[in-house]
A and B are shown apart, each in its own frame.
Chain A
Amino acid sequence: MTGHLRITVTCILTLALMSTFTLSGGAQQPGPGQKVGIMPPGGPAPRAVDGKPDLTGMWWPNRTGIPHVENTGADVDRAALRQFDPAVTPEAPPMFLPDAAAKMKAMTATQREAAKGSVNCVPRGLPAIWLSNTYAVQFAQTPGLLVQLIEVLNNFRVIRTDGRPHPKYPDPLFHGNPSAKWEGDTLVIDSIGFDPSTFVSNNGSWFHSDELRVIERLSRPSRNYLQVQITVEDPKVLARPWTSALRTWTLVDGQDVKEFYCTNNPDLEEFQKLIEAGK
């Protein structure tokens, strides 16, 4: 079986599984033509034993609460496919320093493509895991600990929520070195020390320096919503810090985060050939 055929078959099987296994209270996969809008808030958020909002759950990166709803043939409200409404909470573009902007402009389209995590299978890392991720994440929360299971590439993060300070000599990591604490009902995760090979967003050009600092603000305003706001500081790349809109992820009931390993990737080889040919 070729790679692409295999992936296609996998997708079909996944969809078949999704549509046949509907659990009590679980997300219904809509049929063709069925109308799908923004998922309702769903009442108050559950609380953990320590009284903090419980972020535990499987979260989908748009406001439908239905994984891969675009592939079901349903009549989906365009607004529901977005994480925020730019008319209400506009998101300003990042302001790059002249050198950084020039470096980005110098990249060819093929180079940019080969640098994308979705193409080269290098972990997206933080904050791209929030800004450029079309697959699910799952949280498991216990007092003092938040664990994030990231569907794409089957990666995880372990976040201690006890406010412990950053390490003195942080290793460069894909998800950085977090220092996290609750501010009221919002979990604030402040991370430094990032692997140089990641991009801030998955467009393959917004690179970062060793001074990248990412602040995540996570909250669960209601049962079905997870809100994520990202601030990116990088004094060697950005003229001023960039803050995302309040982006909404929605709860997926009764389904599973799936295994997604990148073990069959012919894309990169093809792009490398193109890059070589262009030299």
Chain B
Amino acid sequence: MKLHIPSFVILTLVSLLSLSAAAQQDGPPYTVKPLPPGGPAPRLANGKPDFSGHWLPNGAGQGVSGRFGVDPAARGTFDPKVTPELPPAFLPGAAAKIKSMTEVERELARSSVNCMPRGLPAIWLQNPYSTVIVHTPLMMAQLFEVLNNWRLIHLDGRPVPKNPEPWFHGTSNPRWDGDTLVVESFGFDERTYVSANGWFHSEDLKVTERYSRPSMNYLIVEITVDDPKVLERPWKSAPRRWTLGNGEVYEFYCTNNKEVEELEKLKDQEAGK
């Protein structure tokens, strides 16, 4: 199944182009700009790159949503013109299942709406909030601002269980490939979605994350999703770039969620109940 590009994406791209043209004519009106690379990446005591930092899913190193004066070049985590990201190729059965969901059902399945943990890999693919990484030679702790959740990846070579319990972030098996940390994970909770819009997964889901820090201010995360019961072939993300923030991570607990109730009402109304 091919995902069609919604008209709003095209509109966005068109206005993005026209806006940058206008900006060049009048001088930059932007107050939020792309963060420069910022010198070499720090190293751990064992010589490997240190991924520690406060990372924002944009090019600005600060918040970009809800603000005026943001340079469009500072918004995304990758430039689709330079590193295009192909849509996932779903098997016919999976495509039919996704298509059969109504818009409201798809909305209710989103973790941003139902407040279930995003899990891996959605935490990297569908997360507009920041992530703190604390990295030592023996571990990498990831603190996700959204829902105030964490994930711990041990780098001390401890054995990986063969038949782990299904976790939201799976069970991780990390290794270094030069200066890139490759983390292969399997064993996922069945309730998570790979990304919004109904991309569900099977129990055979395998996720590979490739982390690198080419410079002080940049963290690159590249995700491969392998799921032979859902996908025709593995899907690979663009190398997505997070930028270093000011360290302010906020508490985000989902304790006042009225959206589910409102959408459930709408669902009942649509079903003619």
Verify that A and B bind, or say they do not: yes
A residues apposed to B, CB below 8 Å: 10, 13-14, 17, 21, 23, 49, 56, 122-123, 138, 140, 142, 145, 147, 149, 154-156, 158, 160, 171, 173-175, 197, 254, 256-257, 259, 261, 263
- What residue in chain B is nearest A172 (Cβ atoms)? B251
In the assembled complex, which residues on chain B have CB atoms less than 8 Å from the CB atom of A173?
251
What residue of chain B has the Cβ atom nearest to residue A49's Cβ? B45
* A161 CB, nearest partner CB in chain B, Å: 13
Residues of A within 8 A of B141 (CB): 138, 140, 147, 149
Contact (Cβ within 8 A) A123 B139: no
Contact of A147 with B134 in the complex, beta carbons under 8 Å: yes
B136, B164, B165 — most chain A CB neighbours (10 Å): B165
Q: Is the CB of B149 within 8 A of A155?
A: yes
- From known contacts A154-B149, A160-B247, A263-B191, infer whether A17 and B134 are also in contact, taking CB-CB under 8 Å: no
25 CB contacts below 8 A, A to B, read A17-B161, A17-B164, A21-B159, A56-B136, A123-B253, A138-B141, A142-B52, A147-B143, A154-B117, A154-B149, A155-B149, A155-B253, A158-B143, A158-B249, A171-B251, A173-B251, A174-B148, A174-B251, A197-B255, A256-B152, A259-B167, A259-B168, A259-B169, A261-B149, A263-B117
Given known pairs A142-B52, A259-B167, the reply for A156 and B253 (CB within 8 Å) is: no
Q: Tell me, rounded to whole Å, the shortest Cβ–Cβ distance linking B253 to chain A.
A: 6
Give the CA-CA distance A76 to B132 in the complex, in Å.
39
Most chain A beta carbons < 10 A, residue from B139, B159, B251, B255: B251
Answer whether residue B30 sits at the interface, using C-beta atoms and an 8 A cutoff: no
> B58-91 vs A: 1/0 string, CB under 8 Å?
0000000000000000000000000000000000
What's the interface size class on B, roughly?
20 to 34
Specify which chain A residues have a CB less than 8 angstroms from the CB of B164 in the assembled complex: 17
Binding site for A on B (CB under 8 A): 45, 52, 116-117, 132, 134, 136, 139, 141, 143, 148-150, 152, 154, 158-159, 161, 164-165, 167-169, 191, 247, 249-251, 253, 255
Alpha-carbon gap, A215 to B85, bound state (A): 49
- Tell me if A174 and B253 are in contact (CB < 8 A): yes
Q: Are A145 and B134 in contact (CB under 8 A)?
A: yes
- Residues of B close to A158: CB separation below 8 A: 132, 143, 249
Q: Is the CB of B149 within 8 A of A156?
A: yes
Q: Apart from A140-B141, A142-B134, what 20 extra A-B contacts exist at CB < 8 Å?
A: A10-B165, A14-B165, A17-B161, A17-B164, A122-B255, A123-B253, A140-B136, A142-B52, A149-B150, A149-B152, A154-B149, A155-B148, A155-B253, A156-B148, A160-B247, A175-B251, A197-B255, A256-B154, A257-B152, A263-B117
Which residues does chain B contribute within 8 Å of A175, judged by CB atoms?
251
Known contacts A23-B158, A138-B152, A256-B154, A147 near B132 by CB under 8 Å? yes
**Complex Cα distance A254/B154, Å?**
10
Question: Are A13 and B143 touching (Cβ within 8 A)?
Answer: no
Q: Which residues of B contact A147 (CB under 8 A)?
A: 132, 134, 141, 143
Contacts of B168 in A (CB 8 A): 259, 261
A257 — which chain B residues lie within 8 A by C-beta? 152
Closest CB-CB distance, B70 to chain A, in whole Å?
A: 24
Task: Tell me the complex Cα distance, A256–B45, Å.
Answer: 23
Cα–Cα distance between A155 and B159 once the two chains are bound (Å): 25
* Distance between Cα atoms of A122 and B116 in the complex (Å): 14
CA distance A214 to B161 in the complex (A): 40
Known: A140-B136, A174-B251, A259-B167. A155 touches B161 (CB 8 A): no
Give the interface centre of A17, A140, A257 by most chain B CB atoms within 10 Å. Answer: A140
CB–CB B158/A254 < 8 A: yes
Contact between B152 and A263, CB atoms less than 8 A apart: no
Tell me the nearest residue of chain A to B144, going by C-beta.
A156
- A-side contacts of B150, CB under 8 Å: 149, 154-156
Instruction: Tell me the complex Cα distance, A112–B165, Å.
Output: 33
* Complexed CA–CA distance, A155 and B144 (Å): 9
**Closest A residue to B45 using CB positions:** A49
Closest-by-CB residue of B relative to A23 is B158
A13–B136 alpha-carbon span in the complex (Å): 30
The chain B residue with its CB closest to the CB of A264 is B191
Give the Cβ gap from A13 to chain B, nearest Cβ, in Å.
Answer: 6
Q: How far is the CB of A264 from chain B (nearest CB, A)?
A: 10
In the complex, which of the residues A123, A254, A261 contacts B117, with contact meaning CB atoms closer than 8 Å?
A261
What residues of chain A lie closer than 8 Å to B134, measured between beta carbons?
140, 142, 145, 147
- Residues in A with CB closer than 8 Å to B136 are 56, 140, 142
CB distance from A66 to the nearest CB of B (A): 18
Residue of B nearest to A148 (CB): B150
Chain B residues whose CB sits within 8 angstroms of the CB of A154 once the complex forms: 117, 149-150
Contacts of A49 in B (CB 8 A): 45
Nearest chain B CB to A253 CB, angstrom units: 11
